[in-house]
Amino acid sequence: MLVLEVKLSGKNWQYEALDEAIRTTNFVRNKALRYWMDNRGVSKNDLQKLCATLAKEFEWAKKLNSQARQAAADRAWMGISRFYQNCQKQKPKKGYPKFKKRGRSVEYKQTGWSLSAERKKITFTDGFQAGTFKLIGTRDLNFYQLEQIKRIRVVKRADGYYCQFLIKVDRSEPQAPTGKAVGIDLGIESFYTDSEGNQIENPRFLRKSEQSLKRLQRQVSRKKKGSNNRKKAINKMARKHLHVSRQRREFAVKIARRLVTSSDVIVYEDLKVCNLVKNHRLAKSISDAAWSMFTDWVDYFAKIHGVHVFAVAPHFTSQDCHQCGKRVEKSLSTRTHKCPNCELVEHRDLNAAKNILARGLGLKNTVGHTGIYTLEETEPLVSSEQSELVKCGH
Ligand SMILES: [Zn+2]
């Protein structure tokens, strides 16, 4: 799936109609969740049926396009099935699905909207009567067949309303072999170190933005609750957050693409980012470095370019000596690996990257291996905030 995102331009009353649709989506999602909590053995299909009942029961739910109602129930089901999966994998954080106070988007399938002939405008045709919006954006939708647009999603952000077109494309661009297999050690000092000793600098934009975010936060808390000035200050802060998350995505995409197009095999650590974030001292750097978003994009590009990716268990990759295998205990602050056994002296992260690569190649030779080392086929959403939400089950 390819996601094209364009900004919507309309009148205030139209935005209000979109808001109403978004609120209704969230209402249906929460109702579906409630239904699952209250009844044993509820299936996805039961939630679909519930949508029709809700439409009969509530006037506003009826206004929402029927497929959009189903999409809202789908969304509830996504949270539920993720919870089931986490339980199965016995993850420490199960992410029990929660009610959402407010939603941020509404998703339509193939009805409830239509594009103008030249595809520069979109009209919403369901009960909320949001009308016609201009599509602001450089991307040309004409490049794709209408049938390829499988869903659209209206997303509310701090700086306006956006429409995402989810387009089905079978992208396959096999590349010439590069003869390179690399192990990747994701780190705090540098964003990553590969097994050949190359390092990618950490993006410092979040830390830079941190000061201004703190300042904006202070401004919010200084304003009277419920006042218009407070609302303005909150919006200013939200815009800054948005800016940072866009920068973060851009960085992840750029680095991931570069890595994939220069390798045949990539091995990285299957980091349990959720676990790591518990440690507050580290939390900043981790969210800053955005590792999991990066590995999602690596998976994504690898699928397109036919590159093999392996995620290996991260245990002792930085402790063990890659040359002789001896376990050399070191704290996080020890930046150099010094092996008393074979006298190897190397940067801590480089040693780790080499271990990771070795582990990945070991796996590759194991025929029919199944178990925890599975390569998950994830397709990141273009919206970084959303993929983050999915990530940690907030
Ligand atoms: Zn050694």
Report the percentage of the chain scoring pLDDT > 90: 48
Q: What is the pLDDT of residues 36-67, one digit of tens each?
A: 999 988 999 999 999 999 999 999 899 999 99
Confidence of residue 386 (pLDDT cuts 50, 70, 90): very low
How far is ligand 1, taken at its centre, from the CA of residue 364, in Å?
24
Q: What is the pLDDT of residues 209-242, one digit of tens each?
A: 777 888 898 999 999 999 999 999 999 988 988 8
**Of the candidates 182, 202, 198, the residue with the CA atom closest to the CA atom of residue 190:** 202
How far is ligand 1, taken at its centre, from the CA of residue 347, in Å?
13
Q: State the pTM of this model.
A: 0.69
With beta carbons less than 8 A apart as the criterion, state whether 90 and 170 touch.
Answer: no
Domain boundaries, the chain: 2-167, 181-202+260-392
How far is ligand 1, taken at its centre, from the CA of residue 341, in Å?
5
DSSP letter at 204 equals: -
User: Which residues have C-beta under 5 Å from ligand 1, the single-atom ion?
Assistant: 321, 323-324, 326, 339, 341-342, 344
Confidence of residue 243 (pLDDT cuts 50, 70, 90): confident
Mean pLDDT of 324-353: 91
pLDDT value at residue 65: 94
Q: Is 7 left (phi over 0), alpha (psi -120 to 50) or beta?
A: beta
pLDDT value at residue 161: 95
Q: Does position 344 have pLDDT exceeding 90, yes or no?
A: yes
Confidence of residue 315 (pLDDT cuts 50, 70, 90): confident
pLDDT value at residue 228: 93
β-strand pairing of 131-136 with 2-9 = antiparallel
Give the pair of three-digit tokens for residue 120: 């520069």
Mean pLDDT of 293-300: 87
